[in-house]
Structures are given as structure tokens and as C-alpha cells.
A and B are shown apart, each in its own frame.
Chain A
Amino acid sequence: MATSEKIVVFPGSPSPDLARTLDLGGHRWKAATSPEEAAKSEPAGGWMGAIIACDADPEGAWAFARAIRKRDNPVGAVLVLVSGAQLDDLEMRDDLFDDFCLSPFHPRELEARLTHLFSRAHGPMRPEVVEHSGLALNLETYQASFNGRPLDLTYMEYELLKFLAQNPGKVFTREMLLSRVWGYEYYGGARTVDVHVRRLRAKLGEEHANLIQTVRSVGYRFGQSRWGS
């Protein structure tokens, strides 16, 4: 895939430190206030990467990361800037960024990370198929199948199953799933997670419904079906 040499930066008005570091490093960049704006001003070859500063507006920043990562032609190299107090936010968001840098940052460190990140971005692609006990999710085509039989899912069912299948054996609380899969903009509370898990189980069929296990008074875990496959 051809990429331009331009980086998209969030938020719309980056800190003077960040702007200066990028300029001094000779990077070509453009700030965007929203994913829509990023899409509008995107160069023909696509963005080379993104730098997302989370300190001022963390919710907006993660929503931005999610949007540019989950679209049809995802931005490949994403670096997030987080403050020390925000390190917990990184957990279970591995799919949304490639590297991070503590903010306030040292200009030399940021530059080193960018160089490393962009050299890797042109290297081998990330795995495109997640497989687990008969379940296969093709991240490129959004298609899911079970033992070779196509599994028709809605967008949110697909996103939830993908998240769980990428983290097998881990227990997630409903709140964790809600914030990591749905993002913050969703209204409806943790019941939404239960409803979607119920739908996924229904679609997986009776024999495989317990691929997604309920961990009482905690949440859910994705794992080996009791019936095997």
C-alpha cells in the first residue's frame, strides 16, 4: 500500500511542544479535530501515521484512535501520548495503538519512537486472522466463520467477538468491555454487554454457546468450548 509521508495529529490544536518537535524533526503533519476531518484532509496515499495526544481530552482521543483504526483503510502506525496518570487507559487497547510515549515527553525520545514506528509500519503486516477453537475472524474482510460455516454478525457483535477472541482466557468486567469495545459514546450501560453476549451465544449455537463463559459476579471470559470443536 502506498503511503504518503504525512502524519495526522490529534487534537486540532496540538501543544506547542509537540508542534515544535514535529517541525524540528522535519515531519510533514496536519492536525485534525475529528476523524471526519482527518478523512477529509487525508492525502491521496493515506496517512503515514497518527500521533494522538490523550492529555487534554482522553475520551475524544480514544474515540479518534478507534475511528482511524477501525475504518476500512486503517491508519497503520499510531503513537499515543499519555500522562503518567493515564497509563491504565492503555490496558486492553492494544488494538488501537502501536506505541506510546509518556507526556510531557522528551523531544529526543519522541523522535526516536517515531523513527522506529514508521520503519516498522512498512514492514510485515499484523496477523489478519484470529483463530480459536473452530472460530475464525478475518480482520481484513470482517468475516467470521465457525468450523468453516459463515457466521453472520452485526457490527457490534463482530467487534465484541473479535475483542474477546483476541484475548482468550482473560476475564473482563462488563464495564471494561463497554469502554473497550463500544467506546465511551455509548449509552445503555452494562446491560448492553449482556444482551450482545446473549446474541452471540445464540448465533454460535447451543453446543458452542459456552465459548463465551459467564464468570459469576465478574463478567465474561472467552475460552475453550466445553464440547470441544
Chain B
Amino acid sequence: MLSQQRDYVLRTVEERGVRLIRLWFTDVLGTLKSFAISPAELENALEDGMSFDGSSIDGYSRIQEADVLASPDPNTFEVLPWVDSKTAEARVFCDIHNLDGSVFDGDPRQVLRRNLDAARAMGFEFLVAPDIEYFYFAKPGPDGVPVPLDQGGFFDLTTTDVSSSLRKETIRTLETMGIPVEYSFHEDAPSQQEIDLRHTDALSMADSVMTFRMIVKEIAAMHGVHATFMPKPLERVQGSGMHLHMSLFEGDANAFFAKDDQYNLSPVAKMFMAGLLRHAAEITAVTNQTVNSYKRLVPGFEAPVHVSWARNNRSGLIRVPIPKRGSPSATRIEYRSPDPACNPYLAFSVILAAGLRGIREGYELPAEADANLFEMDDTMLDKLSITQLPQSLNEALRLMESSPLVQETLGEHIFEWFVRNKRHEWRQYKTQVTPFELDRYLRSL
């Protein structure tokens, strides 16, 4: 099979006159990295991988030696649609290996592969569909203050808007690259967009999220606009989340569906949710990895704060959407805390691992919390034993550090590097004196 795919890729490069092949991979923080090779080098790259110096890649650095191998995954070969066809370029995602061919522990894509293998060993295929939110801004001025392109609201029909034509062009490009879009609309906040992707297996979806962020930014930049996945760019409006719709399939059957249950949820679904809820706080540093992420997770902006689940309560961390036409295959859960600035490979890994832990250990799902939790006081929440997500990157890191689950899921190499890097980020943030403080204290104290 592999040799046929290789032949197919080589032949396509020749026939389409591809001049440059971009080898894509991801650093530990979730930034897309790329280096280009010529068609002449491609056959060799597909056969043996391309070695490169990993020491400049965030999270790849090691003490012994810096060189690693990028091994292209021929499954992911795509011609880039936005490049002029006379100088056609293509991309292919890579798995990173050590020079001896063993798996490189610093590669997030391999971390996800390992966790998906664990799910497969239990008989499950993990399907994911993200709803990705982001903002368009005019290029930031010298003061760095973001300027929205419009003042549109939720579902506003703003046909003449720059932002809606940008969104359309983005969707066309996504579809040309084999990333089907389910819905798209103008979100609540000015210049905020949402694009919902059609579900696929988690590895393809993590690749798609990387491609998605690249395409959104690329198309915007072509029109002199800046697109951002920053979780909370504007103070008084809602931030950008990446809600994840998820299900497990056992062969051709949705393992989350049960006909005779009042929620149509199977025991597997309930244990998965219980695992996700019990470990939610520990994995939040990975699903919400910036200082800014925690300014989104506050009451009043449709973002989750409490560790709870419900069918139609958008203040909960897990929502159980009612599937269209009650279709068993559409039965799924929606995890609402992640933001689009996360590393999708690592975020999918920790979420899956938390859910699988619930299944393995037979966790019991707490009762549905269908009241508005933002209106309850702490005593009430305590009585329902509803806890909160971490309130800051600092708190999230503290919880992550003492989590054997996260350590095991990410592996020693990434776990240690991630905590070290993020601790550093927090320390830098803490030394800031903010406009809030100056405004509040300078004159009065």
C-alpha cells in the first residue's frame, strides 16, 4: 500500500509540474513549521526521510544530538491551491523520527498516533469535529490595539462585508484541500467568525486544524487583513473557542449511542464523559495553553467555567447536543473549553486519554447540571459538588504537573518541556505592570 501511495505522489508531482514540496510538522506549542525540498529530493525523502537540525524548533531540543528525520506521510500530500499553478507547490505532513528510525518523543503528531493506537487497542476509533472561532482585524497599528473590520453580530447578514467575503474565500480553499466545512457564520462579536468542520478521524483532523489556521491567516494576509486565533483579543466581547464534537466508533457502530437510554447515551459515552470531567482541570493547561486563554474562561461570555455537563445548557463544560433526526451515528458530546490557540495533536491526546481512563476505570457520570450555574453561589455549587476549571495558566500548570495521566499521555520529553516553557511564560507575565493597575492605583495609592 505504501509503495503505491509513494508512486502516486511522485507521479502527481511530475504531472502537475510541482516545483516545491513543503514538509510540514508541528512544534510542541502547536506552531506549524515547514521546510521546502525540490521534486528531485522527494523520492529520497519518502524513502528515508529528510534530516534537519531540530534544535531551533520549540520543544525539540535535546542534549545529546540535534538532528532528527522528517518522514513525509504520503496520505497527506496536497497541492496548495493558493499558489499560482505555474509554480505549483505542494505540502505533506511529516512524522518526526530519530536518525536510527525510532519515534522522536518531541513530535506532537507521534504523541497523538500513540494515543490513537491505545484507543484502537480498546476497539475504538476517535472522531472529532471542531467549531473554530477567530477574529479578523485591520493590521494592528503602532499602539498594538486591534481594530475590528465590522460591528456585525451573530448570524448578521453582512453581504458586502470584507470579512464575509474573506470567510467565503477561505471556505472555498479549505474545501479544495479536502477539508469539508459543515457550517460557517458571523459570530457574536465584531469581526468574529466561526467555521465548523465536518468530523473525521482525530489524526486527519489535527492535520486539518493546522492547515485551517494556515489558510485563514494566508487568505486574510493576501487582502491586507490580520486573522487571529488569540483566545480573548477584545475585553468586552466573547473570546474565541474551539468546541470539539467527539464520538467513539466501534467498527461501524457509534459506541456513544444507546437506544434505550433517556439521553440516548451508552455506558461507554457516560464513562468517557465522567473521565473527561474528572480530569478536566489537569488537562486544561494543554487545551488552554496561553496566559490569555484564561481571560476567555470567565462568566458572562458563553465560555465554560464549571466542570459540569448538560444537554442544552451552554454554561456547562460538556454539552450533549440532540442529534438531527435522532440519528445514532450523529450522537456525540461537545467539549467546550479548548481554544483555537492550542496544539491540536496534544489537546486531542489528553482529551482522549481522560475519556479512555473513565472507560477503563468505570467512572460514574455525575448528574446533569441543567440550571444556569452562573447564577448559583459557591455553597450551592459545593452542594452539587461542581468544581471550577483553573482560573489562570499558573493554576492550570500546577494541576498538570501533579497529573500522572497527562505525564503518561504526553510522554516525559514533551511533558517536561511544556511545563518548563509555560512556567517561564507565566513568570514573564507576572512581572508586567498592567494599564489596569496604573489606572486603579497610581493616583489613589
Decide yes or no whether B53 CB sits under 8 A from chain A. no
| A202–B180 touching, CB < 8 Å | yes
Q: Which residues of A contact B7 (CB under 8 A)?
A: 71-72
| B200–A152 touching, CB < 8 Å | no
Alpha-carbon distance between A205 and B181 when the two chains are bound, in angstroms? 12
Q: What residue of chain A has the Cβ atom nearest to residue B254's Cβ?
A: A191
CB contacts under 8 Å to B, within A68-83, are 70-72
Q: What residue of chain A has the Cβ atom nearest to residue B127's Cβ?
A: A191
Whether A143 touches B1, Cβ cut-off 8 Å, given contacts A152-B78, A203-B176, is no
Decide yes or no whether B100 CB sits under 8 A from chain A. no
CB contacts under 8 Å to B, within A173-197, are 174, 183, 185, 187-192, 195
Q: What residue of chain A has the Cβ atom nearest to residue B80's Cβ?
A: A152
Q: What residue of chain A has the Cβ atom nearest to residue B76's Cβ?
A: A154
Whether A198 touches B198, Cβ cut-off 8 Å, given contacts A189-B252, A191-B252, is yes
Whether A155 touches B9, Cβ cut-off 8 Å, given contacts A67-B4, A191-B125, A195-B201, is yes
Whether A203 touches B175, Cβ cut-off 8 Å, given contacts A158-B8, A191-B125, is yes
CB contacts under 8 Å to A, within B63-103, are 74-79, 81, 85
| A152–B11 touching, CB < 8 Å | no
Whether A189 touches B3, Cβ cut-off 8 Å, given contacts A152-B176, A158-B8, A203-B178, is no
Alpha-carbon distance between A155 and B5 when the two chains are bound, in angstroms? 6
CB contacts under 8 Å to B, within A88-125, are none
Decide yes or no whether B251 CB sits under 8 A from chain A. yes
| B74–A202 touching, CB < 8 Å | no
Alpha-carbon distance between A158 and B12 when the two chains are bound, in angstroms? 11
Q: Which residues of B contact A201 (CB under 8 A)?
A: 180
Q: What residue of chain B has the Cβ atom nearest to residue A35's Cβ?
A: B3
A-B contact pairs, 16 of them (CB 8 A): A71-B4, A142-B15, A143-B12, A154-B75, A155-B4, A155-B8, A158-B8, A183-B1, A185-B1, A189-B252, A190-B252, A191-B329, A192-B201, A195-B198, A201-B180, A203-B175
Q: Which 6 A-B pairs have the closest CB atoms?
A: A202-B175, A199-B178, A152-B79, A155-B8, A202-B180, A72-B7
* Interface residue ranges, B against A (CB under 8 Å): 1, 3-5, 7-9, 11-12, 15-16, 74-79, 81, 85, 120, 125, 127, 174-176, 178-181, 198-201, 204, 249, 251-252, 329
